[in-house]
Structure 1
Amino acid sequence: MVLVTLSTGPLSCLEAAAPNIVLIISDDQAYGDFGFMGNELVQTPHLDRLAVQSARYPRGYVSMSVCRPSLATLLTGLYPHQHGIHFNHPPPGLQQMRKMTAAQYHATRAQADYLVENVATLPRILAKHGYACLQTGKHWEGDFRTAGFTEGMTLGRPAERLGQVTGTRAQENGEPVAHGNGDAGLVIGRETMQPIHSFIDKYAGRQPFFLWYAPFLPHTPYDAGPRFKELYEGQLVPRHLLPYYASIARFDETVGQLLKHLERKSLLTNTLIVFVTDNGLRPDPKRADRYDSRSKLSPFENGLRTPVLIRWDGKTRAADHQGLVQAIDLVPTMLAAAGLSSKITSRMQGLNLMPSALGEKMLPTRPAFGAIYPNDAVTLGEPARHVRGRWMREGRFKLIVPGPVEPPLPLALFDLRADPGEKVNLASDPEQAGRLEKMKDKLDRWWRPGDNSQVTKRVHP
């Protein structure tokens, strides 16, 4: 196992007292598939225990319901139309890229590196202020250094063996390439937790650290061992959900291992723990190896919605917060906990959640926004050309507005309180015409894909 380390700058007195930060990101897990969210079948005891000890935000939203754009938002605190990473695969798209030589393939993937290289990402900001920053698991932006981590597992090149769980695949000519989603880093959680344990041991009590734990779980392949499936014996789990639920239990176990290691090192009182999913997914009832079309890559709740948990022992209050929160809120929240919020986050649209997590303030009432894009990009730097549709939630209502890309999303308005399954489209209801127009006006005012004023450029140490 290779873990590459870079040196970090000196610590000031303020930074020496800063908390450690652990960001846990579930991969492809629907918002309702947690015990603490009311699912009585799925086995998530460690996450449930974390929830009991956390400030809980059950109405969280990611801005795009697929891996790479969502993870880029968690790195930058920006919407995809601001950071520009609204796709998984750059032009000309994955199918055409598979026909390239390995050198051409990696050069094509690298053409998008500038989108994150020149932005003041969360790890880049923290590293500048004395944090050691470790990347593990999912990471689509090439080498871990591209996003500003000081240490990491993903190197942007093929791993030592082919396979989905190493992010290493063969081109049509047989050459191995890094798929782009994390290469060697994807073994974290699936095969080992040792890089994380070693990182924590190295810096505990010496230097504040930031840990990005984004395992390739419960994402396919659903290859969790028999003991995880045995957890569901005697329960009426639908056949198409059992492999997925077993993978969720496998992920939950690793969260327990991580929390236990922090506890053994007596770090829980000086560590901020944040949990979120990158996007939701539900397996297709007819084919468990595929996802339901109203989950991942869709504007529906099973793709966009996520619980958010924030725990800092001795500081945050364990309570439910029913207001809408967004993935863009997490970067300003973590920076605020580190004492770095005011100037750095002034251009970000996200909300610092720490006052609510500490029990000092109520969450403000506000909408949540986002957009849906295809998996492959046609061009870089032109998100408005790629959007399949935009969405917003305000209170109990969700609006979906179609974009220019085929197949476009339908114009839709849902009352999520009366219709949580989003089955009844109220867009043509005359009684909702006024609401629809007001929400569409707010969505149009939010949507500014050509405006980069929110982007905080990279600040070199």
Structure 2
Amino acid sequence: MMKLYLMLLLLIWSGNFHQSLQVQSKPNIVLILADDAGYADFGFQGSKEMLTPNLDSLAAKGVKFTQAYVSAAVCGPSRAGLLTGKYQQKFGFEENNVPGYMSESCLSDDEMGLPLDQKTLADYLLAQGYQTALFGKWHQGNADKFHPLKRGFIEFNGFRGGARSYFPFDKNNPNTRPEDRLEQGFRNYQEAPIYLTDYLADKAVDFVEENKAKPFFIMLSFNAVHTPMDTRPEDLEIFAGLIEQRQKLAAMTYAMDRACGLLIAKLKSEGLLDNTLIVFTNDNGGPSDANFSDNSPLSGTKANHLEGGIRVPFIMSFPGELPEGTTYDMPISTLDLLPTFLHLAGENPTQIPGLDGVNLMPFVKNENKARPHDVLFWKKENRGAIRQGDWKLIRFPDRPAELYDLSRDISESNDLAGKYPDFVKELYKKLFEWELTLERPLWLLQRKYEGDAMKRMGQFKNNYK
């Protein structure tokens, strides 16, 4: 009897052990998302002004992508595409930010957000056994029904809106919006006792400590370096040699890099780094007129479809799985993050209908030498863009389209539309055919700041070093 009991115990133990191995074999996933950063404003992107040693090290030990794109030139829609793996216009999330001071709508604020019938990256990973957490900016709807804890995240410490102070919420400030409040969990509003960028990193580190025995997904969604230009005095002093505006940006960038370093150091100290995929990127191009970011050598800036509005820094690091110290030069999209993460979690993303992103792993590992995307699209109302191969067409509602060969003209300074009129018509038609597959916008906006997009386009066209 004792022998039989011992055999049963051994079977149970071995089964649990096998199950534990299966769980532990799934890699942890960390997505670090900057906000409104300039394309050139990192050491690994060539900046001589910004100090970003932790991100530089991450790039040196991982893969740097030279042609990474977002699906929208402003924050909210870009994040909606990232979270769903789909062009956000396919489910009516037009290329305008959801509620708040950015726009007034024909709908109430409570109706504006990431549609509830759309599954998020966190939803999928939660179903695969991941502990999921969001720290920082949400910007996918202010109403309770859009809350991160109802969209696949089991932990949330951040704010629902699109921007806020880096210092504690001032209840007496009439310009502070309700969605600016820092929230721990659901409707538990408590302000951070320290500079917000540092605080978000601390919370991410705590989450690793509490969940290190399980596979986890962390979305560390900084509001840095979005305005307001709030800095710690000691960080500001480091960059005393820069002009005031760039000095503040450099201090904010340095703080964000320090925060990234804290999380990476925690992963290393817990022995988790070799089983963790880390991705660092940005949600759209830098708004050079607002936070003095530098998108060179790209033309354009946030809110327009020149490269400076949609091409972003992008690092992927996974020791032992991805080549170290390399670059990947084919065009990719933040739409690819969802299928890539799901593949690593054990799910087949090709079985999910409607995804526009692809699993990047075989491409980055050089197992598939083709382009991940033959064609990429962007749209904001009547404005639109299409990239096919190395050719890019930008369409305007009030003037002729522009055509660029990005393989020769990264700064989009030589418009070739007049030289290749038939090709312009072909790309114009493909863009229109794609638009026919999209849903009508879920909300119509009185665009309070729409004029800034075109002003930026003119101001920062070909304004590069």
Structure 2 matches for 1:197-346, cutoff 5 A? 197-205=205-213, 207-233=214-240, 237=242, 239-284=244-289, 294-318=300-324, 319-346=326-353
Of 16, 29, 33, the residue aligned with 1:21 is: 29
Q: Aligned-pair distance for 1:214?
A: 0.8
Q: Which runs of 5+ in 2 are unaligned?
A: 1-18, 184-188, 441-465
- SS in structure 2 opposite 1:40? coil
- Specify the alignment match of 2:377 in structure 1: 370
Q: Aligned-pair distance for 1:21?
A: 0.5
Q: Aligned-pair distance for 1:180?
A: 9.0
Q: Aligned-pair distance for 1:446?
A: 2.9
Aligned 8 A contact 1:295 1:303 in 2: yes
* Deviation string, structure 1 residues 352-410 (Cα, Å, up to 9, x no partner): 1011233433242644533343xxxxxxxxxxxxx14111223433211125xxxx676
Q: Aligned-pair distance for 1:272?
A: 1.0
* Deviation string, structure 1 residues 33-66 (Cα, Å, up to 9, x no partner): 2222222332211111101111221100111111
Of 429, 438, 442, the residue aligned with 2:430 is: 442
TM-score between both structures, scaled by the size of structure 1:
0.77
In the superposition, relative to structure 1, how do residues 122 and 290 fare at CA in structure 2: closer, same or farther (>3 Å)?
A: closer
> Could you tell me how far apart the structure 2 residues matched to 1:83 and 1:447 are?
12
- SS in structure 2 opposite 1:398? strand
Moved more, 85-94 or 354-363: 85-94
Q: Which amino acid aligns with 1:400?
A: I
> Could you tell me how far apart the structure 2 residues matched to 1:447 and 1:215 are?
32
In the superposition, relative to structure 1, how do residues 181 and 450 fare at CA in structure 2: closer, same or farther (>3 Å)?
A: farther
- SS in structure 2 opposite 1:352? coil
Structure 2 matches for 1:30-429, cutoff 5 A? 30-90=38-98, 94=102, 96=104, 108-113=108-113, 115-141=114-140, 142=142, 143-154=147-158, 156=160, 164-165=165-166, 177-179=178-180, 188-205=196-213, 207-233=214-240, 237=242, 239-284=244-289, 294-318=300-324, 319-364=326-371, 366-373=373-380, 387-403=381-397, 411-427=401-417, 429=418
- SS in structure 2 opposite 1:137? strand
| Percent of aligned positions that are identical | 28
- SS in structure 1 opposite 2:300? coil
Moved more, 144-153 or 325-334: 144-153
Aligned 8 A contact 2:76 2:98 in 1: no
Moved more, 363-372 or 76-85: 363-372
In the superposition, relative to structure 1, how do residues 16 and 139 fare at CA in structure 2: closer, same or farther (>3 Å)?
A: same
> Could you tell me how far apart the structure 1 residues matched to 2:156 and 2:66 are?
31
* Deviation string, structure 1 residues 420-446 (Cα, Å, up to 9, x no partner): 33233332x1x2212212222332333
> Could you tell me how far apart the structure 2 residues matched to 1:181 and 1:155 are?
5
Q: Aligned-pair distance for 1:303?
A: 1.3
- Specify the alignment match of 2:186 in structure 1: none
> Could you tell me how far apart the structure 2 residues matched to 1:290 and 1:35 are?
14
Q: Aligned-pair distance for 1:76?
A: 0.7
Q: Aligned-pair distance for 1:198?
A: 1.4
* Deviation string, structure 1 residues 266-292 (Cα, Å, up to 9, x no partner): 1011111111110111422xx757999
In the superposition, relative to structure 1, how do residues 302 and 441 fare at CA in structure 2: closer, same or farther (>3 Å)?
A: same
In the superposition, relative to structure 1, how do residues 239 and 167 fare at CA in structure 2: closer, same or farther (>3 Å)?
A: closer
> Could you tell me how far apart the structure 1 residues matched to 2:176 and 2:60 are?
48
Moved more, 339-348 or 243-252: 339-348
* Deviation string, structure 1 residues 168-227 (Cα, Å, up to 9, x no partner): 68899889621599887997524453221111011102x111000011111112222344
Higher helix share: 2
Aligned residues: 406
In the superposition, relative to structure 1, how do residues 323 and 111 fare at CA in structure 2: closer, same or farther (>3 Å)?
A: same
> Could you tell me how far apart the structure 1 residues matched to 2:432 and 2:47 are?
36
In the superposition, relative to structure 1, how do residues 74 and 92 fare at CA in structure 2: closer, same or farther (>3 Å)?
A: closer
Moved more, 184-193 or 319-328: 184-193
Is 1:433 matched up with 2:421? yes
> Could you tell me how far apart the structure 2 residues matched to 1:163 and 1:196 are?
19
Moved more, 338-347 or 77-86: 338-347
Aligned 8 A contact 1:90 1:108 in 2: no
> Could you tell me how far apart the structure 1 residues matched to 2:173 and 2:280 are?
38
> Could you tell me how far apart the structure 2 residues matched to 1:174 and 1:274 are?
34
* Deviation string, structure 1 residues 294-351 (Cα, Å, up to 9, x no partner): 3111111111101322211111112211111011111111111111124544531212
Say what the alpha-carbon RMSD is for the aligned residues. Answer: 3.5
Q: Which amino acid aligns with 1:34?
A: F
Q: Which amino acid aligns with 1:422?
A: E
In the superposition, relative to structure 1, how do residues 409 and 185 fare at CA in structure 2: closer, same or farther (>3 Å)?
A: farther
In the superposition, relative to structure 1, how do residues 343 and 413 fare at CA in structure 2: closer, same or farther (>3 Å)?
A: closer
Q: Aligned-pair distance for 1:449?
A: 4.3
Q: Which runs of 5+ in 1 are unaligned?
A: 1-10, 98-104, 374-386, 453-461
Aligned 8 A contact 2:200 2:220 in 1: no
